[in-house]
Chains A and B, each alone.
Chain A
Amino acid sequence: MRRPSRRDFLAAGAASGIALGMAPVIAAEPQDASASSPENSLPKGEPTIYKGTAAGAVLAQLRAAGVRTLFHTNTSGFVPFWEAIYAAGDVQVINMTHEGQAVAAAAGYTMASRNLGFFFGSHVGIPNALSNTYNAWKDRVPLVLTFSGGQGDGDGSDTFESWDNTLGPTEAFTRWTGDLGSQDVTEMLRRAIKFAFGPPSGPVTMTFGAGGEKVEAPIYAIDLATMRARSRAPADVIEQIARWLIEAEHPLFVVGSQVGIEGAYADMLALAEKLSVPVAETMHSLYANFPNDHPLFVGELQAQRYPRQQDLLISFGESFTAGREDERGLTAGSPRRVVHISHDPEALGRSFVPDVNVLSDLRAAIRDLSDAVDALATRDRISRIRSARLAQVSALTSSLKQSREIALRANFDSSPLTWERVGFELEKVLDQDAVIVPELGTQYYKIYRQLKLGGTNKQRIGRTKGDALGWGMSAAFGVNLALPDRQVVALQGDGGFLFNQSETLWSIARYEAPMLIVIMNNHSYNESRARNMLNGGTFYEAGKDFNGYLGDPNVEYTRIAEAYGLKGEKVTRASDLAPALQRGLRSMRDGKAVVLDIDVAVDGAPISQPTWYQKHSIAEIRKKRLNG
């Protein structure tokens, strides 16, 4: 289908009355909701009718939406659903050993596939599921999470395994909560999927009471790729932004997660290159939304040195919800004008007040803006702007690359290894289309900048913007489920791994996910230690850290891997990393996951007693001699 031109769109908008008078150009208010053009919020055509059990209707509706992978944690109470799954024959259930891990796996699967993550498990597991439901909510991942029982069952009775308002604990982290019972079962599920895809998108939680009752239920044809309601900016707003962009001497683009969600990487790159606009990302960017080896990529927004005085900052789909890091980034360059483009109306005007809010799909806005620039400036003018600015930005990014190389080489052969060296070696051996799923502290950047990420390079999914630890292993497993033909690497801190993540190795082993799991082992929670010690204080002076040191007991992560039947290898010297990675890749090629436990340096300002901790021995304080 031909993409309507900006002129077509303007004409159509004028005819419908939608575009005219919308979103005053210099206005801090979001566009009126009527500017959006929802598509597929209702299914098209007549639904087919399913006859069978209510649980079977749930499965039939999921299959009609293209969902063939379901995530589950052990419970009773789903026999009719299992029978339907068995009868269907084309649905894979992925068993996880903890509800929270299952939710993270579903989220990783959805982030990599853009399919729907569907979970079913026990309502008693709702508290277990919460931390990763929160992460998925922060990451705006469309999930439908269902829990056994019916909404309101036993309210007020405080009976076995029950509490009032079963889904209540999830409500802070969900787009919607509902009941998947036998009444209107497929209509409820269709509605849940619609809410999950938004915008804003995110988890939906439901009680799953549908069982063996006989129903006749409509099955709706659902195309998940078009489930999210779409919007497009008024043409006059786009035109004004294009004028600002052409006239700006020091513009800056901030590229955010929605570019990744829409897969609009190529469009983003083309627009940046058209006028050689430098591109930054926020500290907590969810995806690699722009190639980080590109001469226009200038790194983190809050670290910006060029352009120091921005006359135009345009955010493409960043939420700016990270707090003061984002605030510093937005204010450091004292931008004269700020434009925020987002497909999520709830993100606009939320964390800061821009000059213009634009509610639009990112891909549409980027293309419309590109078309508008072409319409407003001659090719010669565009070319002159591009050439002059490319020279300036390239000089900066080239110098920064040299500095990073100096920093890399400064301790290249050190043991414990530097984070830079680990990134360097990974870049040498991984496929260009490998996927990195990190769960690291802010030292992640030392690895990221040694890897080529974004665009046609390796993909990065995470770290979750929620930052609740205990996400990375299962999310990476979910990514591998979605992308079996890609190398998937979980980059995990030792502290993060200890947040209930070793159990994910069970699913990794059960489903033969040939992942590489890299544990960056500095035997400490170094991120929090560095922050706690940053400004000195009593504990810093004493050189003691109450909660940072993890080296006693010194966990043998390789033996944890071996306990699940996986390969594990310890790397303590820099020279051993490359051969260990080669062995790991061979194992992955042959279908088996590998855990690499790499001793890495504790960096940041040192403390005098880094291995100190507050000792306490229950064995020693016993006053009674026990039998045995």
Chain B
Amino acid sequence: MSMPIAVHAQGGDDPQVEKGRGVVAQVCTTCHTTLGRMLQVHKQTREQWRELVFFMISRGAQVMPDEIDAVTAFLVANSGRERPAARSPAQPDARK
């Protein structure tokens, strides 16, 4: 069964962040089940987060054109708030 992933928004009442929260919960967490932790450990600029959104769109994420800014806003508002405390969980072997 799919596991619901809580995506807690920071950003107060910013409607863009709130819209982004909904999109991220629907689009990103299917694959990125550790999204909350990823947001904590990755401290990037707005421009880098935007690049990452483009990267994921090209990679297959189903983000619509009018959602790109909102997803970026959510990621900016919620990233890099904590220092990572533990080793990352095991990932499948993947090479390129």
Contacts and interface: CB of A to CB of B under 8 A. Distances in A.
Decide whether A and B assemble into one complex.
Answer: yes
A411 B26 CA distance: 26
Given A334-B2, A525-B96, A536 B54 contact: no
A528 B95 contact: yes
Given A536-B37, A605-B44, A606-B48, A442 B54 contact: no
The 4 closest A-B pairs by CB, nearest first: A536-B41, A441-B96, A536-B84, A535-B88
7 contacts: A299-B62, A302-B31, A303-B27, A332-B30, A406-B57, A495-B96, A532-B88
B31 A419 contact: no
B58 A537 contact: no
A420 B89 CA distance: 30
Contacts of B93: 528
Contact of A532 (B27, B48, B91): B91
B27 to A, nearest CB: 6
A534 B30 contact: no
Interface string A125-147: 00000000000000000000000
A406 B54 contact: yes
A325 B31 CA distance: 7
Interface of B: 1-2, 26-27, 30-31, 33-34, 37-38, 40-42, 44, 48, 51-52, 54-55, 57-65, 68, 83-84, 86-89, 91-96
A5 interface: no
B42 A496 contact: no
Contacts of B42: 536, 605
Contacts of B65: 399, 402-403, 406
Contacts of B31: 302-303, 325, 328
A538 interface: yes
A50 interface: no
Interface in A316-343: 323-325, 328-329, 331-332, 334
Contacts of B44: 605-606
A441 B64 contact: no
A419 to B, nearest CB: 7
Nearest to B32: A534
A445 interface: yes
Contacts of B68: 403, 406
A419 B56 CA distance: 12
A419 B58 contact: yes
Contacts of B87: 537-538
Contact of A304 (B40, B62, B96): B62
Given A299-B60, A469-B95, A528-B95, A536 B40 contact: yes
Contacts of A305: 26-27, 62
Contact of B57 (A404, A411, A469, A606): A404
A303 B88 contact: no
B54 to A, nearest CB: 4
A493 interface: yes
Most chain A CB inside 10 Å of its own CB: which residue of B34, B51, B54, B83: B54
Size bracket of the A interface: 35 or more
Specify the main secondary structure of chain A where it touches its partner: helix
A331 B1 contact: yes
B85 to A, nearest CB: 9
A350 interface: no
Nearest to A527: B96
Given A305-B26, A406-B65, A419-B58, A496 B91 contact: no
Given A324-B92, A442-B59, 20 more contacts: A303-B60, A304-B62, A325-B31, A402-B65, A403-B68, A406-B65, A411-B51, A411-B54, A446-B59, A449-B60, A496-B95, A528-B94, A533-B88, A534-B34, A535-B34, A535-B89, A536-B41, A537-B87, A603-B51, A605-B52
Nearest to A396: B62
B68 to A, nearest CB: 7
B60 A537 contact: no
B96 A443 contact: yes
Contacts of B89: 535
Contacts of B64: 399-400, 402-403
Nearest to A605: B42
A535 B88 CA distance: 5
Contacts of A440: 96
A446 B95 contact: no
Contacts of A1: none
Given A303-B30, A332-B30, A407 B37 contact: no
Most chain B CB inside 10 Å of its own CB: which residue of A303, A533, A540, A606: A303
Nearest to A323: B92
Interface string A442-469: 1101100100000000000000000101
A528 B88 CA distance: 13
Contact of B58 (A302, A329, A445): A445
Contacts of A606: 44, 48
A537 B52 contact: no
Contacts of B83: 541
Nearest to B58: A446
Interface in A283-305: 298-300, 302-305
A31 interface: no
A298 B62 CA distance: 9
Contacts of A304: 30, 62
B41 A410 contact: no
Contact of B88 (A469, A496, A534): A534
A318 B65 CA distance: 31
Contact of B37 (A396, A525, A531, A535): A535
Given A403-B65, A536-B84, A449 B58 contact: yes
B46 to A, nearest CB: 14
A308 to B, nearest CB: 7
Contacts of B58: 404, 407-408, 419-420, 445-446, 449
A526 interface: yes
A384 to B, nearest CB: 27
A487 B1 CA distance: 43
A305 B26 CA distance: 7
B71 to A, nearest CB: 11
Contact of A527 (B30, B63, B94): B94
B95 A441 contact: yes
